[in-house]
Amino acid sequence: MAKIQTPQPVRGTQDMFGETEERFAHVVATFERVRRLYGFKGLQLPVIEPTAVFSRSLGEATDVVSKEMYSFEDRGGDSITLRPEFTAGIARAYLTNGWQQYAPMKLSVHGPLFRYERPQKGRYRQFHQIDAEIIGAAEPAADVELLVMADQLLKELGIDDGVTLQLNTLGDTPSRDAWRAALVSYFNDHRDVLSEDSLARLEKNPLRILDSKDPDDRGIAYAAPKIDDFLSAEASDFFAAVTAGLDAAGVAWTRNAALVRGLDYYRHTAFEFVTDRLGAQGTVLGGGRYDGLIENLGGPATPAVGWAAGIERLAMLVEQPVLDKLGPAVILSGQEAASAAVKLVAAIRRESINAELIYKGSVNKLFDKLKAKGYPIILTVAQKENAIFLNLRRLSNDIYSIDLEEKLMQVFRSKLKADDADADDHGIRPNFRIALIDT
């Protein structure tokens, strides 16, 4: 009989457990706490969307749409795509659910995304992001709020050290159009030294040449026309208001004139939080203002700004997360005491104290293992004849362990009551005995 081969995970995916999962969960929990501080409402979106949601928002010529999306035709003949990013799906939901009446809306979401990329450190084909958006707010104050929120998130994660906020303006529509025309003219004059990728971008996405990694492109891009030479007074005032707001909030930033967004619906602010601690994958959080996106999806002209960050990348930067402190380990000594042990553990957990129920094993052998794992208290539950016996061993004299012991005693007194009048003044049945054992 042929040996059955064990299926392997799909390339570019990962199973998270232990410290990896703890770091991941820490990032998500911190994001959830911070977004509530800023009044952002949580959002759940489908993992699949009509392919047109992304082809119309990201553009057919982008690498994401042309090379990286997981798209397929379903049994009804519709083209479906596993979402490669959040913003387009949020914009679709905003339109199809008629949320315009609630504008401005502050929305947040997190979850898995999918792109067919070459897997590398911090980059997967199934990856996860946190995302925050403000839709329906044209004021620079919305940009400031999102940036201050991102800065606080990184600080609360403890990864702000060595992370720099890079900021640029793409101008308003007239400014951007004039700049784009100047760039096309300039790069056309240097076609002979541009890389193949940049030559392709010159026709459809010339701003992306500015952030090319090719050494020859970078030399040409350095001397290219700058957006500042084309900014309208309104666009200049907008950027000045954003930077003034950041200064007032105490958020450090630096100007990066090469920071761009290639798609035409991007306006005004573009930003990235970058670090040198992740090698080539230096961006940990990025975003910008996309006032033209919702119009591209068939809606009215709607201002919007947002950012996203990869959870895996953030998790790589955080220090060892602070884990929940252990509660008592409850050892069941004999199956005849099973009901009492289950009742005891349920009562403990209802008081928001975590407890671990150990179903089998020698009490003496388990004791050393549980002590080594750091359990502050070990409870042994046993039944002898008609009486239930609890042995409580506190293994440490620190404040946490002493307080935990007192909380457990309160649980025993208030929760484990008799169903009749035989309970004593402490609410403990006559056939229920507690022994505090010094160790």
Give the span between the Cα atoms of 207 and 257, in whole angstroms: 12
Cβ atoms within 10 Å of 270's Cβ, excluding its own? 21
> Would you say 30 and 130 are in contact if contact means Cβ atoms under 8 Å apart?
no
Token pair 């309104």 is at which residue? Answer: 234
Which run of H or of E encompasses 164?
strand 163-169
Q: Count of alpha carbons within 13 Å of 325, Cβ hemisphere only?
A: 12
Token pair 């392997």 is at which residue? Answer: 8
Q: Which of 92, 138, 91, 129 is closest to 110 using CA atoms?
A: 129
Residue 52 φ/ψ, nearest 5 degrees: -60, -25
Tokens of 241: 């208001």
**304-310 β-sheet, strand order:** 41-42, 105-114, 126-135, 304-310, 283-289, 267-275, 163-169, 254-255
Amino acid at 125: R
Cα 183 to Cα 26, 203, 229, 327, 332: the distances in Å are 44, 11, 12, 63, 75
> Would you say 413 and 426 are in contact if contact means Cβ atoms under 8 Å apart?
yes
Phi-psi label, residue 314: left if phi above 0, alpha if psi -120 to 50, beta otherwise: alpha
Give the span between the Cα atoms of 426 and 417, in whole angstroms: 9
Which residue blocks in 59-133 are alpha helix, DSSP H?
Answer: 63, 87-96
Amino acid at 56: R
Amino acid at 169: T
Which run of H or of E encompasses 48?
strand 48-50
Give the span between the Cα atoms of 29 and 240, in whole angstroms: 34
Which run of H or of E encompasses 131?
strand 126-135
Q: Which residues contribute to the annotated binding site?
A: 85-87, 115, 129, 133, 261, 265-266
Q: Count of alpha carbons within 13 Å of 132, Cβ hemisphere only?
A: 26
Quickly list DSSP for 309-353.
EEHHHHHHHSPSPPPPPP--EEEEESGGGHHHHHHHHHHHHHTT-
> Would you say 395 and 377 are in contact if contact means Cβ atoms under 8 Å apart?
yes
Q: Which residues contribute to the annotated binding site for L-histidine?
A: 85-87, 115, 129, 133, 261, 265-266
